[in-house]
A and B are shown apart, each in its own frame.
Chain A
Amino acid sequence: MKLFEYQAKELFEQIEIPVPNRTFIKGLEGMAEAAGQIGFPCVLKAQVLQGGRGKAGLIKLVSNIEEASNQAESIFSKAKNMSGLLIEEAIQIEKELYVSITADPVTGKAMMMACSEGGMDIEEIAKDIPERIHKIYIDLSKGIQPYQVRGLLYEMGIDEKLIGQGTKILQDLYNVFRTYEAELVEINPLIVTKDGKLIAGDGKVSIDDNALFRHPQFKATEAYYENDAEYEAAEEGIPYIQFDGEIGLMCAGAGLTNTVFDLVNDYGGKVANYLEFGGPNYRKAKKAMDIMMKNDIKILLIVTFGTIARADVMAEGIVEAIKELNPPFPIVAAIRGTGEEKAHELLRSAGIEPLIDTEEAVKKAIALSGGVKQ
């Protein structure tokens, strides 16, 4: 679960990582007062989860109240899935650094990455001059050691005067990573101010979804999702992604779903959406159908090859859903695996021809969706 910048900065502040003075507002009301308290110039930052906010015009430096009002209005009208607006003091920037911590699956350690050239172009640097990205690996059972962090900062070649502050901030960032069981924490930019201080210009924290049961203070709301169907699916624990084609995909298992997605594209079809009801969700066929019906799809393609996710249980759910919800689109189904004989009987009883072959099912769905698209 990705947190918004304002939430990440709250976590940073609690753990004593320096962050700019700021106020978070949910709507335009109270904007003038909030900006007045921060003082001018200040920065308006849309609280959205997408990257590239600067380039999308969702971060604006403003120097007076009138400008602030106009820009805030423009941001509120432009941004989608925005949780609110962060109004922040403008920092005098000397230099921008980059630091992040993620999991390293190879060593089983945490990996801290840092670069003396932070800011918007970090991805290009990582690709073109990877030797400028410095890394240390932290054994979770030992915790982060100050010597590791000092070593990293010296490798980055940052000013000797910043080593003390930097060591503390990077250790604190590791504490955020561990305390909240993050899959990613990132400060980009970590700003060196004109008066020689370090301060977190931005903050990204993504909490591991599998660990949320230990951190119930984080609860996703609609603003965390791209649309209603995604939110509704997520509430049920069902992976769902929206595209813009004609064929609705309801599959079990991420690997098989991705493969069917590839086959539809290869044979010239267009996927409308992608819903995965395998694993622990195999009893949720009816809910899945309900979510699919919120979309304007021309055909529903169901492909499964389950082991624990029993074919007969899934087929039963689908047949029940057809009876109760009466979906307006035709259905092509290849439901295989444990209990498939019974599954096929059930499908026939609902007037659906049970297919065995995935490619045949994909081709049939494309034909029914109106054929190959150019």
Chain B
Amino acid sequence: MSIILDQFTRVLVQGITGKEGSFWTKHMIDYGTNVVAGVTPGREGQYAAGVPVFHTVERAVRNIPVDASLLFVPPRFAKEALFEALDAGIKKVVILCDGIPLHDALQMRKAAIDAGAMVIGGNTSGIISMGQAMMGFFPYWLERVYRPGRIGIMTRSGSLTNEVTAEVVRAGFGASSLIGIGGDPVPLTRFAEVLPLFQADPNTDAVVLIGELGGTMEEEVAEAIEKKIFTKPLVAFLGGRTAPKGKKMGHAGAIITAGKGTVQDKMLALRNAGALVAERPRQVGTLLESILTSKI
């Protein structure tokens, strides 16, 4: 089992005929993902990666039932593409692109809340339910990283996720679902909104959170643990503990401003709530070993 996505989820790909869209759609299908259709204006009647292409999302869903949509569109078109998916009634959307304008992201977050939809991204590799399906780009052939198991993983980062997940696997564990909520300052789904899904999933024994400096999402996770919304073990690793204040370290989401959003604040909040916090990626594996008896 898994959350959000499994091998039965009927996936639409918006922007399927683009270079990245067609390349990764093939990989998604190879991995087992149930990709049922694609959308590219002007290309209806054609096939891409073996699935039919439609002019609009509305025309696609009228012909083929769809559960989720994956957006392979440039950041400046992400808002419109999301609105198109939501207007067609799709309730699960994954947006991969990096660089969505902030004011667009705000309107997208508001629209997702109003539609009662789960919209993941942007600035993410996507989501993968190990051994079943993926929406996004993951080098699933790297066995050192992508191994099925019972650990839920949620992350704000891409390359750090590979680093930490490799440590989870090194310790003998594997992942149920890996949810990349993305590195933007306005993630369209927040960590604390993913937690209830992992809580409800009988095949997830514990969650690994990969966070970083900036924002308040890790603090919200601490609150969810305190309020017993999430009661399974949680191991967190946060990058940027020694980052100097006031420096913008990479991600737009990773900005430290006076006294707020520092990694120290977040680590303290998580520890006070009862989460285990790793100081280094390697410790994520050893902390999991210390609390879980069954590995796979």
Which A residues contact B (CB, under 8 angstroms)?
Answer: 103-110, 123, 127, 139-141, 178, 181, 183, 208-211, 213-214, 239, 241, 243, 251-259, 261-263, 265-266, 274, 276, 278-280, 304-309, 336-338, 340, 358-359
Contacts and interface: CB of A to CB of B under 8 A. Distances in A.
Contacts of B105: 103, 108
A95 B138 CA distance: 57
Contact of B106 (A108, A252, A336): A108
A3 to B, nearest CB: 16
Interface in B222-254: 237, 239-244, 247-252, 254
A258 B254 contact: yes
Residue from B99, B102, B250 with most neighbouring chain A CB atoms (10 Å): B250
A139 B249 contact: no
Contacts of B177: none
Interface in B268-283: 279-282
Interface string B149-188: 0000001111111110010000000000000000101110
14 contacts: A105-B185, A108-B107, A108-B113, A209-B252, A239-B248, A239-B249, A243-B244, A251-B159, A255-B183, A258-B160, A258-B212, A278-B159, A305-B160, A307-B137
Contact of A107 (B110, B212, B279, B282): B110
B187 A105 contact: yes
Given A108-B109, A261-B249, A262-B242, 16 more contacts: A105-B186, A107-B110, A109-B106, A109-B110, A181-B103, A208-B103, A210-B102, A210-B252, A251-B159, A253-B157, A255-B239, A258-B240, A259-B239, A266-B242, A276-B250, A306-B159
A343 B233 CA distance: 37
Contacts of B110: 107-109, 139-141
B254 A254 contact: yes
A278 B163 CA distance: 14
Contacts of B111: 108
A338 B75 CA distance: 24
Contacts of B102: 103, 181, 183, 208, 210-211
B108 interface: yes
B103 A255 contact: no
Contact of A257 (B101, B250, B280): B250
Contacts, number: 177
Nearest to B24: A308
A255 B106 contact: no
B139 to A, nearest CB: 4
B215 A308 contact: no
B133 interface: no
Given A241-B249, A254-B250, A255-B160, A279 B242 contact: no
Contact of A337 (B112, B162, B251): B162
Given A141-B110, A261-B242, A255 B156 contact: yes
Contacts of A359: 280, 282
Contacts of A307: 125, 137-139, 158-159, 162
Contact of B280 (A213, A253, A266, A279): A266
Contact of B137 (A209, A214, A265, A308): A308
A337 B158 CA distance: 11
Nearest to A306: B159
A256 B101 CA distance: 24
B57 interface: no
Contacts of B155: 255
A276 B240 CA distance: 14
B194 to A, nearest CB: 15
A-B pairs with the 4 shortest C-beta distances? A254-B250, A255-B157, A253-B159, A108-B109
Given A127-B259, A278-B159, A210 B101 contact: yes
Contacts of A178: 103
Given A252-B159, A305-B163, A307-B137, A258 B249 contact: yes
B190 interface: yes
A208 B142 contact: no
Residue from B105, B215, B280 with most neighbouring chain A CB atoms (10 Å): B280
Nearest to A243: B244
A255 B186 contact: no
A265 B240 CA distance: 11
A258 B243 contact: yes
Contacts of A276: 250
A337 B237 CA distance: 20
A104 B210 CA distance: 22
Contacts of B258: 123, 127
Interface in B108-131: 108-113, 125
B76 interface: yes
Contacts of A123: 258-259
A258 B213 contact: yes
Residue from A139, A255, A263 with most neighbouring chain B CB atoms (10 Å): A255
Contacts of B210: 255
Contacts of B190: 105-106
B183 A254 contact: yes
Residue from A103, A183, A257 with most neighbouring chain B CB atoms (10 Å): A257
Contacts of A141: 107, 110
B279 A266 contact: yes
Given A105-B109, A105-B186, A256-B157, A239 B139 contact: no
